[in-house]
Structure 1
Amino acid sequence: MGALWRGFTRMTSNKLTLFGMLILVFLVLVAAFAPLLAPHDPYAQDLGKRLLPLFSDGHVFGTDSLGRDILSRVIYGSRITLYIVALVALIAPVAGLLVGTASGYFGGVVDVVLMRVTDVFLAFPRLVLALAFVAALGAGIENAVIAISLTAWPPYARIARAETLTIRQADYIAAIRLQGAGAFHIITKHIWPLCVSSLIVRVTLDMAGIILAAAGLGFLGLGAQPPSPEWGAMISEGRKFILDHWWVATIPGLAIFLVSLGFNLLGDGLRDVLDPKSSSDD
C-alpha cells in the first residue's frame, strides 16, 4: 500500500499528469451521469431549430442539421468512447501478452511463426487495416471494436516478447524450473506479472490512437451507426457545414482532442512511475 501511495504521489506531483488524470475522471463522470447532465434528448429532432449557433435558445453548443442538441450528443457520445476504449484495452493487451510471452519463452519455430504474423500486422497502417477488417465484418460499433483490437495487439506482443526474453534467462527462473515448475506456471506466475507494468504504460499511451481510429471509422460511416451520437460520426455530419456552421464539427472534434490529450498526459506520468529506466534517463 505504501508503494502504491508513493507512486500515486509522485505521479500527481507532475501538473501535466494531474491535468490528464482530471480530464479522464471528468470523462468518466460525464459518461456515468449523462442522463442527468444532458439538457436535452440527444436523439430528439427539431427541424425548426436546425443549425442554431452557440448559446442560443437553451442550446449551449448549438444544434446540428436535424435540430439535435450538440452538447447532449457530445455528453452521450462519451459513453460510446469509453465503451470502445474499455473493450479494446481488455482485448488487445491480453492478446499481445499471450502471443509475446509464448514467442519469447518457447523460442524456435514458435517464435519465428508468431513474430512473422506480428510483422504482417505491423506492416499495415492501423486505420487501413481496421478499414479492411470492418469491411469484411460489416459496419457497427462491435465490429469496429474487433477491428481496432485486431490491429492494436502487435506492439503489445513485441513488448511482452522483449520482456520475456530478458526474464527467462534470470537465475531465479532457472531455479524454479529445476524445482519442477512447468512452462504454464512460470509464464503465468513469474513472467506475466513482470510484463504488466510495461503493457499498462503502452495501453495508456495507445488510447489516443484507439480513440482516433474509432473516430475515423465513425467518420467514414463504418463505426457506430446513426443516430448514435458518436464523435467521429458527428464530425462527418458537420463537415458539410464547416464553413458557415463551424461548431457542428468543431465541438465533437474538441472532445476527441481533450480526451486524447488526457490519455497521453496520464501515460507519460505512468511511464515515469512504472518504468524506472525512463525516469532515471530523464
Structure 2
Amino acid sequence: MNVLSRDWLLSEDPETRAQAKLGQFYRVVRALSRNPLAMVGLAIIIALLLVAAFASWIAPYSPFEGSLQNRLQPPSVAHWMGTDELGRDIYSRVIHGARITLMIVLLVAVIAAPLGLIVGAVSGYFGGWVDRVLMGVTDVFLSMPRLILALAFVAALGPGIENAVIAIAITAWPVYARIARAETLTFRTAEFIAAVQMQGASHARVIWRHVIPLCLSSTIVRVTLDMAGIILTAAGLGFLGLGAQPPMPEWGAMISRGRAFILDQWWVATMPGFAIVIVSLGFCLFGDGLRDVLDPKQKVKS
C-alpha cells in the first residue's frame, strides 16, 4: 500500500462516511496482524473454509463407501488417518465433516446472534417492565447448562442435524442478549440518542440505526469466541446420537463410533478428536485477538 492510500485511510478528518469506515477497518486489520496467535487462529479458520469448500477435490475417497477388507487399517500412505470399522477412509470423512461443522457454526451464529442482539437492545433501551420481562426469560435460559438444555430441546424435537442447530441456537442467544443490554445501558441516555429522539425518530429507528450498530463489535467478538463452544456442543450431540445421523461424517458421531476401538485402534476416535481440538483452538485464538483489537477500553493505535 502506497503512502497516499495509507494517509487517506488514517486521516483524522475523513471527508465521507465510507472513508471513516475504511480507515477504521484498516486500523483493526493492522492491529490484528500484529498478534501472531490471532494470525494462527485466522489461518486455521481459513483452512477450515477452504477444506469445506473443496472437500470433494481434497478427499481421496468417498466418505460413505468403504471396503470390509480394509477395515480398521492403521494410518499409512494409502490411508493417512487409517480406516474405520466399515473400511471407510477416516481422512476423507474428516475432510467432509468440516462442511457439517462449518454449516452448524454458521447457522447457529446467524440465528442466535441477531436474536440475542435485538432482545438485548430492546431490553436495555426501554428499561422498566420490558427489561424485567425480557431479562427474566434470559435468566431462565442462562440458569441451565447449555449442553443439558440443548439435549432437552433435541429430545423434544427429535434427532437430526437441523434440530441440533435449532437447539444450539436456542441455548446460545441469551449470552448475546446480556451483552447487548449492558452495552445499551451505557449510552441509552446519551445526548446523541436524545437528539435523534427530538428529531422525531421512532423507537424502532433509534434501536435499528443507532443502538444496534454500537453493540455490534462486542457481539461479533462474543460470537467468534463462542464458535468453539458451538462446535463442542454439536460434537456432544453427535456423540450421543442426537445430532447428525449415520452415515453423515460428523466428527462427534465419528468419535462415538470409534470409542469401541479406542484401546487397539486408537486412530478411529482420535483423528476426528484432533480435528475438533484444532478448529476450536483456531476460533479461540482468533476471538482473543479480535477482542483485544475491538475492546473499547483499548485504543487502537495507528
Identify the TM-score tier after normalising by the shorter chain. Answer: over 0.9
State the match for 2:58 in structure 1.
37
State the match for 1:247 in structure 2.
267
The answer to whether the aligner puts 1:171 opposite 2:205 as a matched pair is: no
Q: Which of 94, 115, 118 is equivalent to 2:114?
A: 94
Residue deviations 1:71-120, cap 9 Å, x none? Answer: 00000000000000000010111110111111111111111111110000
The answer to whether the aligner puts 1:141 opposite 2:161 as a matched pair is: yes
Q: Aligned residues: percent identity?
A: 66
Greater shift, 215-224 or 167-176, is seen at 167-176
State the match for 2:73 in structure 1.
52
CA distance in 2, matches of 1:5, 1:110: 39
Partners of 1:235 and 1:248 within 8 A in 2: yes
Q: Which of 42, 45, 49 is equivalent to 1:28?
A: 49
State the match for 2:8 in structure 1.
none
**Aligned ranges for residues 115-264 of structure 1 at < 5 Å?**
115-264=135-284
CA distance in 2, matches of 1:14, 1:229: 34
CA distance in 2, matches of 1:101, 1:7: 25
SS at match of 2:248: coil
What RMSD in Å do the two structures reach over aligned CA positions?
1.0
Q: CA deviation at 1:276?
A: 3.1
State the match for 1:8 in structure 2.
29
AA matched with 1:46: S
Residue deviations 1:46-87, cap 9 Å, x none? Answer: 11110000115x111100000000000000000000000000
With normalisation by structure 2, the TM-score equals 0.91
With normalisation by structure 1, the TM-score equals 0.97
Q: CA deviation at 1:278?
A: 5.2
CA separation of 1:128 and 1:279: change in aligned 2, threshold 3 A = farther
CA distance in 2, matches of 1:52, 1:20: 32
Partners of 1:271 and 1:278 within 8 A in 2: no
Q: Which runs of 5+ in 1 are unaligned?
A: none
CA distance in 2, matches of 1:242, 1:23: 27
Structure 1 runs of 4+ with >2 Å offset: none
Q: How many residues align?
A: 279
CA distance in 2, matches of 1:217, 1:194: 35
AA matched with 1:252: P
State the match for 2:13 in structure 1.
none
Greater shift, 221-230 or 157-166, is seen at 157-166
Partners of 2:61 and 2:89 within 8 A in 1: yes
CA distance in 2, matches of 1:91, 1:204: 14
SS at match of 2:255: helix
Residue deviations 1:188-235, cap 9 Å, x none? Answer: 000010000000000000000000000000000000000000000000
CA distance in 1, matches of 2:222, 2:186: 18
AA matched with 2:33: T
State the match for 1:265 in structure 2.
285
Q: Which runs of 5+ in 2 are unaligned?
A: 1-21
**Aligned ranges for residues 52-91 of structure 1 at < 5 Å?**
52-55=73-76, 58-91=78-111
CA distance in 2, matches of 1:278, 1:242: 47
AA matched with 1:140: G
Q: CA deviation at 1:277?
A: 1.2
Partners of 2:118 and 2:212 within 8 A in 1: no
Partners of 1:131 and 1:217 within 8 A in 2: yes
AA matched with 2:41: G
Partners of 1:272 and 1:279 within 8 A in 2: no
CA distance in 2, matches of 1:51, 1:168: 61
